[in-house]
């Protein structure tokens, strides 16, 4: 799998087998991103693409000093299962 890229359209994208999986986000504050929606093409389902995408987005946030609001249920479920990312969750 390729690396996760951030786009000017407020998306993290991961290209796999010529298809694009993505997470849309809203910038709430200069250092807080609200991860609002994850979409993985049906053809890529069950291959770990969504998890790889979330991990890449969270790595980007960590490396750039950003906190996240996991509004997307897929992102929230991933973070709930992986405690190592809990320090990235923005406090309300």
List the one residue out of 56, 55, 50 whose CA is nearest residue 37. Answer: 50
> What integer pLDDT is reported at residue 4 of this predicted model?
78
10-20 b/e (C-beta count within 10 Å ≥ 16 → b): ebbbbebeeeb
> What integer pLDDT is reported at residue 16 of this predicted model?
93
| Domains of the chain, start order | 5-88 (3.40.630.30)
Averaged pLDDT in 10-residue chunks for the chain of 92 residues: 77 94 94 96 94 96 96 97 96 72
Query: Is the full-model pTM beyond 0.95?
Result: no
């Amino acid at each position: 799998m390729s690396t996760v890229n951030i786009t000017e359209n407020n998306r993290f994208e991961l290209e796999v087998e010529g298809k694009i999986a993505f997470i849309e986000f809203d910038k709430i504050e200069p250092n807080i991103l609200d991860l609002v929606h994850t979409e993985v093409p049906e053809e890529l389902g069950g291959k770990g693409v969504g998890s790889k995408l979330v991990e890449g987005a969270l790595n980007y946030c960590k490396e750039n000093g950003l906190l996240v609001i996991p509004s997307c249920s897929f992102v929230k479920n991933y973070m709930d299962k992986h405690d190592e990312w809990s320090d990235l969750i923005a406090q309300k």
